[in-house]
Structures are given as C-alpha cells and as structure tokens.
Chain A
Amino acid sequence: MRIWLSQHARTLGMTLGKFFRSPVASLFNIGVIGVALALPAGFYVGLVNLQSLSQGLAAAPQLSLFLALDASRADIAQIEGRLKQHAQVHKFKYVPREQALADMKAGSGLGDVMSGLAQNPLPDAFVVDARDSTAQSLEKLREEINNWPKVAHVQLDAAWAKRLEAVLKLGQLAVLMLTTLLAFALVAITFNTIRLQILTRREEIEVAKLIGATDAFIRRPFLYFGALQGLAGGFAAWALIWAGIYLLNNGLADLSQLYGTTFQLHHLNPADSLGLLLFSAVLGWFGAWMSVGRHLSDADRR
C-alpha cells in the first residue's frame, strides 16, 4: 500500500514537473480548455442569476377576477361571499371599477385620454391571494372561479413568471448542449496532447515494457497529465468567470444606483465551483484514457 502510494506520489510529482518544463505550451493548452469551459459555465451563472431574480418577483402569485360589465351590486356581493367561504382563498381585495379608472388615470400617464372616454371601460375586479401557490392548484382555482356566474375573466398573474421559467428551461437546455459540445472539445484537446506525448516518449515506453512495466505503470503518468491539465483548465475557467462577474458587478453598481436599487450578480457557489473543477478533471482523465488506450495498443503492434 505504501509502495503503491509512493509510486502515485512520484508520478504526480513528475507530471507537475512536465508542466513546468514546457510552460508556454502548457499555458496555451490550459487556456484553451479554460475558455472552452468558461463559455457554458458563464452562461450557466447567468441563468442562475436570472432564476434567483424571478423567484424573488414571483413569490406571491395572485389571481385577478374581472367581472362582467353588467354585474350588479348583488352579483358582486354574492361573489364576495363565495370568496370568503372558499378554503383556497387566503385573502382578497375588491377593486371597484371607478377606483380602477382613477388608479389608471393617476398611474399610467394616460389621464387626458381617459377623461375623454364617454363611459368607464373597466370592469369591477377582485385581487385574490391563494393559500397554496403551486402552479397546479392555482390553475385549478382559476378554472373553478372562471365558471362562476358574472365572472368574465380570471387572470393568473404568475403567468409571466411561468413564461420566464419556460425561457429559463430553454436556456438550461442550451447550456447543456453547449456543455456537451465543449466537453467533447476538451476531450479532443487532451486526446491530442497525450497522443503527442506518447509519440515523443515511444522509446521510453518500449524500454519500460521490455523490462517488465505493467500497462498500468505506463498509463499512469499520461492519465495524471490528462486529469491535471483538465483540472488546471477548470480552474482557468473558474477564474475567467469570477473576473467576468467582478467586472460586470462594477458596471452594474453604477447602473443600479441610477435606478435606486442594488442589484449584484452572484458568483459561482462552492458546490458548483467544485463541480466545474471535478467535471473538467474527469473529462481530461477520460481524454487521456482514450488516447492511451488507442495509442499504446498501436505501439504494441509495432
């Protein structure tokens, strides 16, 4: 066991030495991997930020009930009674049509246009807070209320949040596709790097095999190299994203000050960062593994 460990430690040391012996080539390789990974990872960070933003906004979905224009006082009272008794309704607010018109005149800047209207085009309305805010139960409640008499239309105010969610899902799919493509690129880069290394070290491999090296012994330094290069590439990607967010946040600080709010992009959280590093290391290892498997058996047949 100790021998095994010391062999691995030695291989690790030798592999690190290899990086420092050709620093320019290593840096370029790591840079390419870093950029390739930073693209999907950066996109992912953007999505996560959007998601947390949308969650903050859509926390309390509301239903808006618009009554038919010919609803009488009695109808309104009856709906009010029903809402009071309904188990799903947490609380509600009645917005009479006159008030809605007044609000609109004050809020929208369309006051002049509004005062030109012969009659009030707006219906009476209720704004309802549901007890259970999952999308399914909200939808059920909406349909139920929609069937009540004199209810012209029920608007689920969370609809736009759902749309955003759908767009985010699409974004996630795009990230996944981008990740797959660039993961392939990473594997290909490692594959080629290792192929070159095997070619330049053909003699060493041949001699080592002749004097009793196992395949595992011969593979080990290449696999270490692949994994380390991947890890370094992952770290480069992480640093690129960190720097990108840092710069964007500086710009955002100015912008959000103008709007009187504070809005900051979040950095990658520790779990995601670790995932990024692991992912790239595993891909590097995989590329090296494929390359070694392929080219060592080539060397064998010679």
Chain B
Amino acid sequence: MISFSQVYKRYPGGYEALRNISLNIGAGEMVFITGHSGAGKSTLLKLLTAIERPTSGSVVVNGQNVGALRPRAIPFLRRNFGLVFQDHKLLFDRTVFDNVLLPLNIRGFRRGEAARRVRAALDKVGLLDKEKARPVTLSGGEQQRLCIARAIVHRPAILLADEPTANLDAAYAGELGSLFQSFNQVGVTVVIATHDENLAARLRPRVITLRQGGLMTTPEEAAAT
C-alpha cells in the first residue's frame, strides 16, 4: 500500500532530513514511526502526502509514484488519506459539524448523505452532542478528537497522524489509542508518527524508528531476518 525505496530528502541549505529510507507498509497494518524530534518523522509524512517531494528515490502509494505526480493529480492522491495534525488545524470560524463536513464538501457529497456521515463520525469520537459548538469552546482532547472525526469522515483507506497525543495527558492519550485501534480493526491502514512510548506499549504496533534521518532496525525485525 505504501512503499519507500531509497528515499533521500535534502532541504535547500544542505540539511538532510531523510537518508536512504526503504520500507513497506501493507494494507491494514498499524505502524508507529518513532524517533527524536528532528529525526525525520514529519518529513516522512510530508513526502507521503506530496507536501514535499523526495530529492531522490521513490515514494509509492496505492501504486502511484507520489514524487512524480502532476500538481493536478495531488488532490486526488490526498483523498486516500485521513490526516490528523499535531496542531489540529481546525477552522474556528465554523461549528464542529461544519468542520467535519469540509472533506465531504470537497468530495461533492449530497447534503443528506453528508450530514449522516458527519454525525456518524462525531458519534465515533464522542462529540455528537457538541455538533453546534464552536471548536474554541472544546478542550484540547476534544479538539484532537474533532480533528480525528474530520480525518475519518470520508472513510479513507489510510489514516496518517502526526504526534496526535503530543499535548494530551495520559488518560486522553489512552482513549485516542483505542480509537486508532478500532479504525485499524475495520481495515484502515494506520500510520502514526509519535514519540509516545506509553501508546506504543499499549497498542503493540509495528514500530519503525528513525535516527537522524536514517532507518534504525527494530529489535523484532532484526530477530525476524
């Protein structure tokens, strides 16, 4: 479903964010990408969603070479993903309901069907009673759950999350973890960039560790080979 082969990413100025990354993520897997700040986790996600292009090597998603996509095709690549951002990126000028509606509007869903799906997604994350509220009135954890609702409302095949638990206390983080697990159980590929070790210990996902832009083999993988 996702494969990196010999990917390098060098930013202007010579900073090398990723070095010789080759990895495969299959459909329905749950994968954690860990590593210290600056190890290249975010860059990896940016390459996946075509926000950045690899300097060399290829990134393939669903059989499409992301680095070689024409600009016109990029929106359609991104529709494969549900994105959960560290800073939520919620729109504060509209209600909770309208925030979740945005991905469906972009895809041109009909009103009735869209409303049904938005409520289903809000129910899933436990915010159904707040659909008319403004995001500012929500707590940090609720805002993150709203962000997740927006990411899953269009039922993406791949859920990408960048530090979803960074600003949350342990109890909230645990709730989010089981939420991600439930999506994974219905077949969604889940990729989470995080350095939250508690979360990894609880969900027991496959872990890919980055160090200074390079790939570090996990002990389990080393044992397997």
Contact = CB atoms under 8 A, between A and B. Distances in A.
Interface stretch (A62-70, A87-95, A210-218, A236-244): A210-218
B66 to A, nearest CB: 14
Contacts of A206: 89
Contacts of B83: 210-211
Nearest to A200: B93
Contacts, number: 53
A235 B58 CA distance: 55
B102 interface: yes
Contacts of B150: 211
A206 B77 CA distance: 16
A6 B111 contact: yes
Interface string A1-13: 0111011001000
A213 B91 contact: no
A149 to B, nearest CB: 83
B89 A10 contact: no
B14 interface: no
A4 B107 CA distance: 10
A176 to B, nearest CB: 40
Given A6-B110, A212-B76, A214-B75, A207 B105 contact: no
Interface residues of A, number: 19
A254 interface: no
A120 to B, nearest CB: 89
A254 B79 CA distance: 70
B78 A10 contact: no
B107 A212 contact: yes
B26 interface: no
Contacts of A210: 49, 51, 78, 83, 89
A7 B51 CA distance: 26
Nearest to B103: A211
A213 to B, nearest CB: 4
Interface in B91-114: 91, 93, 102-103, 105-111
Q: Chain A CB within 10 Å — which of B79, B81, B83, B106 has the most?
A: B106
Contacts of B151: 211
Q: Chain B CB within 10 Å — which of A204, A209, A212, A217 has the most?
A: A212
Given A6-B110, A204-B93, A210-B83, 16 more contacts: A6-B111, A7-B105, A204-B91, A206-B89, A207-B89, A207-B91, A208-B102, A208-B106, A209-B75, A211-B102, A211-B150, A212-B75, A212-B103, A212-B106, A213-B75, A214-B106
21 contacts: A3-B108, A6-B108, A6-B111, A7-B105, A7-B108, A207-B89, A207-B102, A210-B51, A210-B83, A211-B79, A211-B83, A211-B106, A211-B150, A212-B75, A212-B78, A212-B79, A212-B81, A212-B106, A212-B107, A214-B75, A217-B106
Q: Return the 10 tightest CB-CB contacts between A and B, nearest first.
A: A212-B79, A212-B78, A3-B108, A213-B106, A214-B75, A212-B75, A207-B89, A211-B103, A7-B108, A204-B91
